[in-house]
Amino acid sequence: MLKVDFKKTEIGDDVDEIAINNIIQSDKCTRTDFFMCSMIGWLNNDKTRDFQQLETFLRKNNCNAYLISKPVLTERKNMYLTMPNNNKLEKTHELIFAFDKNEILKYNNSYDENFNKLVHAGCYAYKTNPELESDENVLAESKQDIKFDEKNFEFNLTQNSVVLTMVRMTDKETVLYVKKCLEQQLGQELIKSVVGEIVSHENEPVIVYSYTVDNKIVSDCAWTEIDENTYKMIDMRNAKVEVDK
């Protein structure tokens, strides 16, 4: 399980350090949605930045993601390709990214060819949208006024208004984390219960556990226990559920 934590930034924090942290964190855990928003946050810090500069940054930091310039075969109605940080620039190729370098060869003959074509790459935007404000006064003002939306985490990443931390937890850590969160949410103590069984590769029955309250399963989290410190998460859809009475 991927545990996501974030801290709201404050006025005076270095927005470039925030954007760089968010890119590296989302790249490390291959979260495509967070990576895209963090990438936009980095671009938004300087309207002259482009995708070649970002690709150079990714390589210098040994990131997993690769930016790809994809030829456009058909146009999208009422949309055009532009830069997220300067929508006055029209582009001819679509910017996509992948966590596998070999994906580049689906659209370009080599890494160098792809890199050269990144100058033509952009993201889709609606033609009917009001033009984004991107003059120097607006950029200066934005550094003094943190834009934050309690309900829109992705928006906060594009505005560099949160510092992202992501950690991959072991299955046992996930089980204990789910228990803690659910107990806070429900205001009740959860009981670890036998809820079914699955068949092992050796054709032996393996006990499946989950959390219950009043003999009712209250979580999609289910697991088997190999030993005291090693749990294995399972898909509840593959279990024969027989709640103990």
Residues 125 and 186 in one domain: no
Predicted local distance difference test score (pLDDT) of residue 237: 60
Distance separating alpha carbons of residues 219 and 101, to the nearest angstrom: 38
Question: What is the block-wise mean pLDDT of the chain (245 residues), using blocks of 10 residues?
Answer: 79 90 91 92 94 96 95 88 91 94 96 97 80 44 54 84 85 90 91 88 88 89 89 71 49
- Please provide the size of the chain in residues: 245
Q: Which among 47, 44, 49, 56 is positioned nearest to 19, based on CA atoms?
A: 44
Predicted local distance difference test score (pLDDT) of residue 146: 55
- Tokens encoding 15: 């927005």
Residues 212 and 98 in one domain: no
Residues 98 and 61 in one domain: yes
Predicted local distance difference test score (pLDDT) of residue 67: 97
Residues 95 and 179 in one domain: no
Distance separating alpha carbons of residues 212 and 222, to the nearest angstrom: 11
Q: Which amino acid is at 55?
A: E
Predicted local distance difference test score (pLDDT) of residue 77: 86
Domain count, the chain: 2
Residues 54 and 84 in one domain: yes
- 89-to-19, 93, 168 alpha-carbon distances in Å: 22, 12, 39
Predicted local distance difference test score (pLDDT) of residue 138: 41
Residues 161 and 199 in one domain: no
Predicted local distance difference test score (pLDDT) of residue 116: 97
What strand order describes the sheet that includes 66-71? Answer: 66-71, 93-98, 121-126, 79-83, 86-90
- Residue where a domain stops, chosen among 168, 196, 216: 168
Residues 90 and 150 in one domain: yes
Cα-based torsion angle of the residue sequence 186, 188, 189, 191 in order, rounded to the nearest 10 degrees: -70
Predicted local distance difference test score (pLDDT) of residue 23: 95
Predicted local distance difference test score (pLDDT) of residue 143: 45
Distance separating alpha carbons of residues 239 and 196, to the nearest angstrom: 6
Residues 160 and 196 in one domain: no
**Structural domain that includes position 119:** 2-168
